[in-house]
Amino acid sequence: MSASLFSEAQYFTSSTKDASTCDGVVYFLPRNVLKVELTVQETDYYVGPYAEYAKSVFGTDDYISENKTKYEIQGVDVQVFSQPDPDASYCVWLDEKSKEHGTLEFSMTDDGVIRSFGDKISTEGSDISYMAANQYVELSKTDRSEVHFMNFIGAQHEPEENEDEEVSAKELTKEDKAKQIVENINNIRNLYRDLVSGFQEVSYGNTLNDMAVKTKNIENEYVSLFVGKEEIYTHKKAFYITPEAKDKNGMVIIAKISENEGVVNASSKNGTAIKIQFETAEPIVACNTKVDTDGENPIINNKLFYRIPASSSTKIYCGNDVLAECNLKISQFGKTMTVPINGCGILFNPNTGQVVRIKK
């Protein structure tokens, strides 16, 4: 009996911008939001306290000459979420005669995106979960430690016999200390070479490897006095992008990256643009299927609007370099169609707006 009454009901559907004017049920089709998460490597460069003698005393051109920070993008992750499309909201109502025996059996997400219509079908058992977009900018930071250089005092000059006391008491110049540091480095390298080559006659047993590592660490501390130190940190920053229909074969600037400031907003005047490009193929639609969206505010009988999402080849660039490439389904790039509902139960994909199942 209920199925007969259900089939006789007359339904009307129209797009709406104001839910308060709808004498029925309002539902939304979804649009997709992209979360682009950037893994940023931050390298801090610190000048060594004896950098001025790196070439003349230590004999190297490879040293840090100024304190600075450099930012680079090390990785990109793209995820797709869904939210109600404010440009795809619809009102469904019954005519006066149908109100007595017709029903508006809808199931929707908490956001109002359609999941199913009709009492002949249920969303239970469906493996399609709604991926709601929580739009906030994430910024995870790595704990930073303060950089220190060893405090080298240097060995004082031992006076020779009959040497003037004033001369013997004279403090070492910075260049004298630099030369002593180089001498220490050479001694440490000789010690390390003896340890790893087995030249030492003493058997250190299992402690040999530990001694070699500690010796190398001491050498590195001395060398850093000339060449400086690098500290590397990584953090993640996320941007949420909602593509518009006009972007389906276009490019959108997500953010910018500056060597001095890191990742900044797209509106910043400085930095290299991080862009996302869409190359979208038209969705496949049966040749005898009519797209019922003609007119600004059409009213259709006994049908609901749904979507066929488009497949988009998506690339993310930093300047002219491709950082990531993936293929995404984006609902708002697709086509809006209609499906008959009289006497039917229909299951929709709440992330794309596509019809998944029809039960009569």
pLDDT in tens, 138-192: 666 667 778 999 998 887 666 656 555 554 556 789 999 999 999 999 999 998 8
pLDDT-flagged residues of the chain (< 70)? 1-8, 99-102, 125, 137-142, 156-170, 198-206, 285-297
Rounded to a whole number of angstroms, the CA Rg of the chain reads: 35
Q: What is the DSSP letter of 143?
A: P
Instruction: Give the pLDDT of residue 5.
Output: 40
CA–CA separation, 90 vs 300, rounded Å?
Answer: 11
Instruction: Give the pLDDT of residue 159.
Output: 60
Spacing of C-alpha 130 from chain mean position? 21
Tell me which residue of 355, 350, 248, 322 sits closest to 78, measured CA to CA: 322
pLDDT in tens, 190-213: 988 887 776 555 555 567 788 888
SS3 173: coil
Instruction: Give the pLDDT of residue 61.
Output: 95
